[in-house]
Amino acid sequence: MSDPQGPVWDAIGGVSRFAALATMAELGCADHLAEEPLNVEELARRCGAHAPSLGRVLRQLASMGMVRTVGPGVYELTEAGATLRTDAPASLRPAVRMIAETGFWYGMGTVPRTVREGRSAFVERFGPLYGYLKENPGAGRLFDDYMVARATPFAEAVAGRYDFSGVRTLVDVAGGRGHVLAAVLKRHSNVRGVLFDQEEVVPGARTLMAEAGLEDRCGFVGGDFFVSVPAGADAYMLGSVIHNWSDEDAVRILCNVRDAMAEDGRVLLVEFVVPDDDGRHISKDVDIRMLALFGEGMERSTSEYGELLGKAGLRLSRQIGLTGGSSIIEALPV
Ligand SMILES: C[S@@+](CC[C@H](N)C(=O)[O-])C[C@H]1O[C@@H](n2cnc3c(N)ncnc32)[C@H](O)[C@@H]1O
């Protein structure tokens, strides 16, 4: 017979497991262990840590499959642990460090208060998230790196699953570093890109495009999507943007896109869509993060996206499911 307390204890234990993971990411353990298996004392010396404390964390990390014991007190890195190496492709180190970042962590810890009062305790203490990231450039860079890692698995899927053959110009609205746009440009030589995001995010996007050899097929515009977005393109992509905002703000952004787009244009939202069942789904994890950090930002179901698009003079024309729980929602002018 299954233990009815099991799921509760498992969730409580998840906090300790995450704390161990956060320690591994913060101290850069994966980078040191990538070179060779190390004993606790040597790893602690290289990480600048207290060896007995680190030993306890490594024991937990071994139970999670991040490292494995290869001798008394000696650990080697596993394949899962190696995803936290700084130089791993789409390294998860910034993602873990961002979730463990002081403000984020405060936001998650104050979800009960947020729910009781109906406004984000994070926003109340630190102000809106994107302002917080501006004021804390270290956290801002970490956040942008985290976004790249998070979207890497579906960047290829967006480029591969959607038919971009008729698209001439694609504006990536709030495109971050532009990794999704880069994947589209790489695969579809007919498309010219415009990366639009806040001024301070644009230099990072320029670097990514230059590294991908795509700088000459991409324009860069800094600005505020509550004011306007670059006009005249035939396709506008918003990847993980609408979920940050209340219905009212989301409609304001979508109206600005609707005003800017060509009459035969289209809008592509890339979002985790909440399924209509009780099953576990990544959208529900991300939704609690939206609740904590934005208050009114949220993951939405297909019908909720349809309603939102309708209020901005658009209609949901197609939904294409991608691996990893996200979808492309295509919308056309009404
Ligand atoms: C969750 S990130 C998504 C980034 C990227 N589209 C992706 O799929 O990874 C949201 C983006 O919205 C941008 N953003 C926030 N407020 C904005 C504003 N007022 N105007 C333009 N961009 C904004 C942020 O800088 C950030 O890059």
Mean pLDDT, the chain, whole residue set: 96
Tokens for 63, please give them: 């139970």
Over range 110-133, report the average pLDDT: 97
Residue nearest to atom 6 of ligand 1 (CA): 175
Determine whether the shortest distance from the Cβ of 103 to ligand 1 is under 6 A: no
Sign of CA dihedral 103, 109, 111, 114: negative
The CATH 1.10.10.10 domain(s) of the chain lie at 6-87
| Crossing angle of the two packed helices 247-260 and 302-311, in degrees rounded to 10 | 60
Confidence (pTM): 0.91
Tokens for 29, please give them: 């353990």
Could you tell which of 136, 141, 145, 147 is best to mutate to test the pocket of ligand 1, judged by most ligand atoms within 8 Å of the CB? 147
Determine whether the shortest distance from the Cβ of 294 to ligand 1 is under 6 A: no
Predicted confidence band at 151 (pLDDT cuts at 50, 70, 90)?
Answer: confident
The CATH 3.40.50.150 domain(s) of the chain lie at 152-333
Q: What is the pLDDT of residues 169-182, one digit of tens each?
A: 999 999 999 999 99
Determine whether the shortest distance from the Cβ of 199 to ligand 1 is under 6 A: no
Residue whose tokens read 């024991």: 59
Residue whose tokens read 């290289």: 46
Q: Are 328 and 316 in contact (CB under 8 A)?
A: no
Determine whether the shortest distance from the Cβ of 147 to ligand 1 is under 6 A: yes
**Beta-sheet strand order (sheet of 218-222):** 218-222, 192-197, 169-173, 235-239, 266-272, 326-333, 314-321
CATH number of 6-87: 1.10.10.10
Measured between alpha carbons, how far is 120 from 130 in angstroms, rounded to an integer? 14
Nearest one of 308, 326, 194 to 272, comparing CA atoms: 326
Q: What is the pLDDT of residue 284?
A: 97
Q: What is the pLDDT of residues 189-220, one digit of tens each?
A: 999 999 999 999 999 999 999 999 999 999 99
Atom of ligand 1 at shortest distance to CA of 150?
9
**Residue 60 CA, ligand 1 centroid: distance in Å:** 35
Could you tell which of 130, 254, 270 is best to mutate to test the pocket of ligand 1, judged by most ligand atoms within 8 Å of the CB? 130
**Residue 176 CA, ligand 1 centroid: distance in Å:** 6
Over range 71-89, report the average pLDDT: 97
Determine whether the shortest distance from the Cβ of 239 to ligand 1 is under 6 A: yes
Determine whether the shortest distance from the Cβ of 327 to ligand 1 is under 6 A: no
Q: Which residues are catalytic?
A: 243
Q: What is the pLDDT of residues 233-270, one digit of tens each?
A: 999 999 999 999 999 999 999 999 999 998 999 999 99
Res. 154: pLDDT tops 90: no
Measured between alpha carbons, how far is 119 from 177 in angstroms, rounded to an integer? 30
Atom of ligand 1 at shortest distance to CA of 176?
27
Determine whether the shortest distance from the Cβ of 224 to ligand 1 is under 6 A: yes
Atom of ligand 1 at shortest distance to CA of 201?
25
**Residue 238 CA, ligand 1 centroid: distance in Å:** 9
In terms of CATH architecture, what is 152-333? Answer: 3-Layer(aba) Sandwich (3.40)
Determine whether the shortest distance from the Cβ of 230 to ligand 1 is under 6 A: no
Measured between alpha carbons, how far is 47 from 32 in angstroms, rounded to an integer? 8
